């Protein structure tokens, strides 16, 4: 699993969240956790990203944004929902504007629960996403429809 595994690039999108999980995602990049030692880069560009990391729930305003970001990412790609709000809406679940978790609009592959999700848990989620990326890439190759 060498091809994607050593260089997973993240795209972080902050949905309808309280920003707690976002700060934890950024904490992963700081010297204490330093995800770059695994080759992880937090890119701001969907076209360079392998992993879409979403924090916070989905509302009707950010639904098209999330869908567009996902559609702009080249395959293979994985979606990671970070925090309980991204998993199922969390404490905002009953709000009139919240549609629910990320899985209401995108096929979520990895769920990282927590309020806020700990950096260790986020890194663990990314590691699981990396394994899945490799699986998807192998599938893409075997199906032959790989436009590369």
Partner 1 sequence: MSTIIGIIAFIVFAPFAGGLLSGIDRKLTARMQGRIGPPILQPFYDVKKLLNKEILLINNMQILFMWCFLVFIVFTGALFCGGSNILLVFFVLTTAAMFLVLEASLTNSAYATMGANREMIQMLSYEPMVLLTAVGFYVATAFSTGTGTFNLHEIVDNSPIPNIVYLPGVFIGFLYILTIKLRKSPFDISMSHHAHQEMVKGVTTELSGGLMALMEISHWYENVFLLLVVSLFIICDAWWSIPLAVVVVAAAFFLEILIDNTSARVKWDVMLKSAWAVTLVFGCINVFILQLI
Site for partner 1, rule CB under 8 A: 2-4, 6-7, 30-31, 34, 36-39, 41-45, 47-48, 50, 72, 74-76, 137, 140, 146-148
Which residue number, 8 or 125, has a Cβ lying nearer to partner 1? 8
d(CA 143, CA 127): 25
143: Cβ–Cβ under 8 A, 6 or more apart, which residues? none
3-state secondary structure of 23: helix
Which residue number, 40 or 87, has a Cβ lying nearer to partner 1? 40
d(CA 129, CA 32): 22
Which residue number, 21 or 84, has a Cβ lying nearer to partner 1? 21
In angstroms, what is the minimal distance from the CB of 69 to partner 1?
A: 12
d(CA 88, CA 100): 5
Q: Please state the separation of Cα 52 from the chain's center in Å.
A: 3
In angstroms, what is the minimal distance from the CB of 13 to partner 1?
A: 13
In angstroms, what is the minimal distance from the CB of 32 to partner 1?
A: 9
Which residue number, 51 or 117, has a Cβ lying nearer to partner 1? 51
């Amino acid at each position: 699993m060498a091809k994607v595994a050593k260089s997973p690039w993240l795209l972080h999108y902050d949905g309808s969240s309280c920003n707690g999980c976002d700060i934890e995602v950024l904490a992963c990049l700081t010297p204490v956790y330093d995800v770059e030692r695994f080759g992880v880069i937090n890119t701001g560009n969907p076209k360079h990203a392998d992993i879409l990391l979403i924090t916070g729930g989905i509302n009707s305003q950010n639904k098209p944004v999330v869908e567009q970001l996902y559609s702009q990412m080249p395959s293979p790609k994985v979606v990671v929902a970070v925090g309980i709000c991204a998993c199922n809406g969390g404490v905002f679940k009953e709000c009139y504007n919240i549609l629910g978790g990320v899985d209401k609009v995108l096929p979520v592959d990895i769920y990282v629960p927590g309020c806020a999700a700990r950096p260790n848990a986020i890194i663990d989620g990314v590691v699981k996403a990396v394994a899945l990326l490799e699986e998807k890439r192998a599938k893409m190759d075997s199906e032959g429809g790989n436009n590369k």
